[in-house]
């Protein structure tokens, strides 16, 4: 993919240095400090979240014409650590985590299911099912594409950091995410098929300039958890919460696309997730997160934090999307 | 998962207040013995009766607050 357009001084500095040779990024840390100081909210700041996204993306697919060695450049990692620290601290300050949960399999699974219990009221899924226009369905896919075209990848980083049953559970889920060995059935490939069915470009990274900061933050959260062994508990909790809030909404997403006459190939992604995530949520809640809490009780707090942070950012993205659509304006980012 | 996957010893897990997880080499067939398509190696069978994709689970048990006996 191409490097995204800068959204402020830090992402502009990144754009400048990344085309040069690694080792020339001494300015990055200072630029990161200034960006963090001037951001009124690091979670939704365009310059901060885009910069973090760019720094993380070096560890996934990289960028056209950017030397791959930037991934492990000490100056870049220094700047990234400053942004990560600020992002994580802000989330830990803000996110409410259930207290007094015993670090055993049943208690942790029950706590996660309670945190993610279906709620009535407005949601993106209900809006998509009943009301979204064709243009809003396209926006919905564009917003989701920033994660869904690399679906499962951030959690996969955690596999070598686990042992025993939690590891086997994560591998079992991820193998299914990756199509059980069939490339066309990989969830990221099914999402690409849905995008093409809706007339969109399914090339990785095409729409990044249109993705608002809050949506980038949701993807950055997964990379933050996945790339730090310290946060393996948070990855487990995040994945559990993600899977537990997936089956029922995906049926509604599919309904919305069927309402507009899209064919079965285009809705397959959603239909697949109704079935798959009803399996995954059980494995993630009990055998991944629950077992991990039992195996490493000191991770119990992070497991719950990872779940709560996932739900918090999902809610922020949902509020952003619904308020834009209620005002009949685009939920995508416009302008430079 | 395809049907020619290496068979493993089947296990069946009744999830508390949730579906029945089935792993391993088990034929899932309808009342006439006709195989029901199985697209993954681990499947969740509906236990609450409210799934829209029976025999598989679609998570509806959570929406109806199903309590397993």
CATH number of the domain residue A165 falls in: 1.20.910.10
| A50 located within any domain | yes
Residues A199 and A237 in one domain: yes
Quick one: pLDDT at residue A143?
Answer: 98
Q: What is the mean pLDDT of residues A1-20?
A: 97
Q: Is residue A4 part of a domain?
A: no
Same domain (yes/no): A135, A207: yes
Are A281 and B39 within 8 A, CB to CB?
Answer: no
pLDDT digits (tens, 9 = 90+) for A166-199: 999 999 999 999 999 999 999 999 999 999 999 9
Q: Which residues of B touch A248 (CB under 8 A)?
A: 58-60, 62-63
As a whole number of angstroms, the distance between CA A305 and CA A299 comes to 10
**Which pLDDT does position A336 carry in this prediction?**
58
Closest approach of chain A CAs to the CA of B64, in angstroms? 9
Last residue of a domain, one of A64, A94, A124: A94
Averaged over B30-59, what is the pLDDT?
Answer: 95
pLDDT score recorded for residue B6: 59
Percent of chain B topping pLDDT 70: 88
The answer to whether residues A253 and A122 belong to one domain is yes
Shared domain for A152 and A294, answered yes or no, is yes
Q: How many Å apart are CA A239 and CA A169, to the nearest integer?
A: 11
Last residue of a domain, one of A94, A124, A158: A94
ipTM of the complex: 0.90
C-alpha to C-alpha distance for A171 and A174, rounded to whole angstroms: 5
Regarding whether A172 and A34 lie in a shared domain, the answer is no
* Mean local confidence (pLDDT), B23-44: 94
Residues A66 and A177 in one domain: no
Give the pLDDT confidence score for residue B9 in this predicted structure. 85
A286 shares its domain with A170 = yes
Query: Which pLDDT does position B4 carry in this prediction?
Result: 55
Rounded to an integer, what distance in angstroms lies between the CA atom of residue A125 and that of residue A315? 12
Yes or no, beta carbons of A106 and B16 under 8 Å apart: yes
Structure confidence by residue, pLDDT tens digits, A30-53:
999 999 999 999 999 999 999 999
Which domain, by its residues, includes A226?
105-326
Judged by CB atoms closer than 8 Å, whether chains meet at A251 and B1 is answered as: no
B39: helix, strand or coil: coil
Half-sphere exposure of B66 (CA within 13 A, CB side): 20
Q: How many folded domains does chain A comprise?
A: 2
pLDDT, position A120: 87
Which residues numbered 16-55 in B keep a CB inside 8 Å of some CB on A? 16, 18-19, 21, 39-44, 52-53
- Domains of chain B: total: 1
**Per-residue confidence at A335, pLDDT binned at 50, 70, 90?**
low
Q: Please compute Rg for chain B using Cα positions.
A: 13
Identify the closest residue of chain A to B1 by CA–CA distance: A180
Both A257 and A142 in a single domain? yes
Phi and psi, residue A30, nearest 5°: -65, -40
The alpha carbon of residue B33 is apart from the nearest alpha carbon of chain A, in Å, by 22
For A162, A169, A283, A288, the CA distances from A165, given in Å and listed in that order, are: 9, 6, 10, 7
What pLDDT is stored for residue B8 in this prediction?
A: 65
**B59 has a pLDDT exceeding 70:** yes
- In a domain? residue A90: yes
The label of the residue with tokens 């997730």 reads A273
pLDDT(A83) > 80: yes
Question: Does the distance separating the beta carbons of A118 and B57 come in below 8 Å?
Answer: no
Could you tell me if A42 and A183 lie in one domain? no
Q: What is the pLDDT of residues A322-332, one digit of tens each?
A: 999 999 999 99
Residue A121: predicted pLDDT = 86
Residues A55 and A27 in one domain: yes
We report the CATH number of the domain holding residue B66 as 3.40.5.90
- Nearest residue on chain A to B59, alpha-carbon basis: A278
Size of interface A-B (CB pairs under 8 A): 65
Are B53 and A118 in contact (CB < 8 Å)? no
Domain that holds residue B69: 1-69
Instruction: Indicate whether A236 belongs to any domain.
Output: yes
Verify whether the Cβ–Cβ distance A279 to B18 is below 8 Å: no
Nearest CB neighbour to B21, from listed A176, A180, A279: A279
Residue A128, in any domain of the structure: yes
Provide the token pair at A164.
């025993």
Q: Quick check: B59 and A172 CB within 8 A?
A: no
Look at residue A106 in the predicted model and tell me its pLDDT.
97
pTM of the model: 0.96
Query: Over chain B, what is the mean pLDDT?
Result: 90
Q: Which of A94, A118, A149 is the last residue of a domain?
A: A94
Contact A277 B59 (CB under 8 A): yes
Pairwise CB contact (< 8 Å): A247 & B58: yes
Residues A217 and A301 in one domain: yes
In a domain, A319, yes or no: yes
Residue A300 pLDDT exceeds 70: yes
Do A32 and A173 fall into the same domain?
no
Taking only the tens place, the pLDDT of each residue in A85-130 is 999 999 999 999 999 999 999 999 999 999 999 998 899 999 999 9
CA dihedral A61, A66, A68, A71 (to 10 degrees): -80
Test the B interface: residue of A244, A282, A287 with most B CBs within 10 Å: A282
User: What is the reported pLDDT for A334?
Assistant: 85
Specify the pLDDT at position B31. Answer: 94
pLDDT band at B1 (very low <50, low <70, confident <90, very high): very low
**Residue A192, pLDDT score:** 98
């Amino acid at each position: 993919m191409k490097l995204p357009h800068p959204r402020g001084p830090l992402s502009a500095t990144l754009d400048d240095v990344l085309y040069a040779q690694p080792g020339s990024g001494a300015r990055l840390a200072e630029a990161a400090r200034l960006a963090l100081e001037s951001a009124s909210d690091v979670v939704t700041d365009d310059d901060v979240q885009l910069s973090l996204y760019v720094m993380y993306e070096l560890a996934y697919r990289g960028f056209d014409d950017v030397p791959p060695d930037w991934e492990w450049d000490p100056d870049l990692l220094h700047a990234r650590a400053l942004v990560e620290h600020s992002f994580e601290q802000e989330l830990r300050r803000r996110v409410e985590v259930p207290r007094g949960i015993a670090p055993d399999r049943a208690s942790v699974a029950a706590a996660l299911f309670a945190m993610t219990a279906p709620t009535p009221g407005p949601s993106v899924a209900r809006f998509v099912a009943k009301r979204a226009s064709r243009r809003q369905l396209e926006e919905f896919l564009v917003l989701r594409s920033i994660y869904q075209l690399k679906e499962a990848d951030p959690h996969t980083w955690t596999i070598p950091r686990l042992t025993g049953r939690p590891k086997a559970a994560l591998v079992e889920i991820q193998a299914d995410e990756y199509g059980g060995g069939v490339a066309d059935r990989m969830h990221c490939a099914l999402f690409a098929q849905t995008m093409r069915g809706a007339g969109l470009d399914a090339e990785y990274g095409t729409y990044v300039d249109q993705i608002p900061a809050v949506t980038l933050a949701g993807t950055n959260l997964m990379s933050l958890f996945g790339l730090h062994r310290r946060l393996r508990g948070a990855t487990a909790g995040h994945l559990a919460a993600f899977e537990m809030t997936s089956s029922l909404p995906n049926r509604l997403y599919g309904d919305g696309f069927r309402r507009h006459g899209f064919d079965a190939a285009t809705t397959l992604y959603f239909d697949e997730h109704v079935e798959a995530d009803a399996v995954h949520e059980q494995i993630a809640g009990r055998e991944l997160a629950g077992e991990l809490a039992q195996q490493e009780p000191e991770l119990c707090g992070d497991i719950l934090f990872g779940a709560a942070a996932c739900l918090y950012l999902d809610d922020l993205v949902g509020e952003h999307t619904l308020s834009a659509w209620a005002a009949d304006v685009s939920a995508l980012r416009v302008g430079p | 998962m395809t049907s020619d996957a290496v068979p493993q010893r089947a296990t069946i897990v009744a999830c508390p207040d949730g579906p029945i997880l089935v792993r391993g080499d088990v034929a899932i067939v309808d009342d006439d013995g006709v195989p029901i398509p199985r697209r993954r190696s681990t499947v969740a069978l509906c236990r609450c009766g409210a799934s829209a994709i029976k025999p598989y689970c679609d998570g509806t048990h959570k929406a109806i607050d199903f309590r397993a006996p």
